[in-house]
Amino acid sequence: MNKQTIHSRYGQTVRRFFFCAVMSLLALPAAVVFFPSCASGGNTVPEQPPAPVQSGAETPGAFSEIWAYLMAGEEEFLDPSLPVSDIGYFGAGLSSEGQLTGVPDRRSLDGIYTGRVHLVVADSNSALLHFCLNPRYPVRNRLLEDIAEAAGKFDGVQIDFEAVRENDRENFFSFLGELKARIAPKPLSAALYARTRDIPDDPYEYARVEPHTDRILVMAYDEHWSGGAPGPVASMDWCARVAEYARQKIPAGKLVMGLPFYGRAWGEPDPSKAYRFSTLRTHMTEKGIDLAGTGTENGHPHFAYTENVTVQVYFDNAESVFRRAELYRTGGTDKIGFWRLGQEDPAIWEKLSLRGNTPASGPRQTEAD
């Protein structure tokens, strides 16, 4: 290799080095622009994006629908400022012949309430419901006609049949389906007992009722009732299980979780029952009462004595109702309903709000309709 060749290759090498150095310097600002964390030392934690603004679904106490039952004759308990989207107006019932009776006057709420009002049709007589639901009897079709006609003055209808027997379940499901078709496009809802598991031949099977209704209100109360042992009307653990089961069976858009406003009391001992004469004589002896000295009222022997009774009371205040409502909201249910107006701790309304007045289905009923 001669000197000329050596000098030539040396020059090429120098030029290549100089070119690479220049290009590296030109690329450095771009690196600073696109990788600022690297430019400042490489160990800086990237800046976090701003926290998202809370949506209505994330706001404590905010629900898309808040239902409340109102008894006819107790309209004074309906404050127009309450965050209530839907009223279940209680209510119509069934006569001994299966005819619709006791439909409340929708006009009683004119000027008081501007939300949706649903006619509640309730009954708890299993024998009567058997005939009213069975398509073999003409009373069923007449009842369907009566309810559909009465629905004309309301924004929707709710069925609250609390004594349907297992062998009437298929007739109950078809009754709901036919009623829904008759009152469309107005919404049909059903109030159903709380469940925590599947029950064989359940006449209130959520998955069977759901296709025939626009809303299902799960009556998540009376866990403990007056005829049983003392306890909460709706304990938090029990409500959590009820809600979990309901969410598995009912679409979120149709599920309304019911909450109680009322409390219950139990007394022990409870002397309210029938007695044998021999038992009464034992009581009289224990209490030091002389049979010959008992008084009479219109010819009936009578005596009185004082007994120490322990009374246990379970009730809800605004805080406990709100905790239960939040249990449902944070679990994914944004519709709740209360039994019933006039029984509540008024402070609960300060904790609740509506994040929209989404209709169950169809327009709100107006006088022009």
Whether residue 174 is found in the same domain as residue 297 = no
Q: What is the pLDDT along the chain (369 residues), one digit of tens a residue?
A: 443 443 444 444 434 444 444 344 444 343 333 333 333 333 333 333 333 333 446 899 999 999 999 999 999 999 999 999 999 999 999 999 999 999 999 999 999 999 999 999 999 999 999 999 999 999 999 999 999 999 999 999 999 999 999 999 999 999 999 999 999 999 999 999 999 999 999 999 999 999 999 999 999 999 999 989 999 999 999 999 999 999 999 999 999 999 999 999 999 998 889 999 999 999 999 999 987 767 788 888 989 899 999 999 999 999 999 999 999 999 999 999 999 999 999 999 999 999 965 445 444 554 434
Question: What positions carry a catalytic annotation?
Answer: 162
Whether residue 200 is found in the same domain as residue 297 = no
pTM for this entry: 0.81
Residue 12 lies in a domain: no
Residue 140 lies in a domain: yes
* pLDDT given for residue 352 in this prediction: 98
| Torsion sign over Cα 271, 276, 282, 284 | positive
Residue 127 lies in a domain: yes
* pLDDT given for residue 16 in this prediction: 47
Whether residue 285 is found in the same domain as residue 161 = no
Residue 51 lies in a domain: no
Whether residue 277 is found in the same domain as residue 320 = no
* pLDDT given for residue 356 in this prediction: 66
* pLDDT given for residue 29 in this prediction: 41
* pLDDT given for residue 155 in this prediction: 99
Q: Structural domain tally of the chain?
A: 2
d(CA 135, CA 117): 29
Q: Is the separation of the CB atoms in 334 and 64 below 8 Å?
A: yes
Whether residue 242 is found in the same domain as residue 281 = no
d(CA 122, CA 131): 15
Whether residue 297 is found in the same domain as residue 200 = no
* pLDDT given for residue 366 in this prediction: 46
Whether residue 178 is found in the same domain as residue 286 = no
* pLDDT given for residue 367 in this prediction: 42
Q: Is the separation of the CB atoms in 327 and 240 below 8 Å?
A: yes
E strand residue ranges, the chain: 62-63, 65-71, 86-94, 100-101, 116-123, 156-161, 188-193, 215-219, 255-260, 264-268, 295-297, 300-302, 310-314, 335-339, 353-354
Residue 218 lies in a domain: yes
**Residue 28's CB: how many other CB atoms inside 10 A?**
11
* pLDDT given for residue 291 in this prediction: 79
Whether residue 207 is found in the same domain as residue 341 = yes
Whether residue 211 is found in the same domain as residue 240 = yes
* pLDDT given for residue 139 in this prediction: 98
Q: Is the separation of the CB atoms in 102 and 141 below 8 Å?
A: no
Left (φ > 0), alpha (ψ -120 to 50) or beta: where does 177 sit? alpha
Domain extent at residue 289: 271-302
Residue 69 lies in a domain: yes
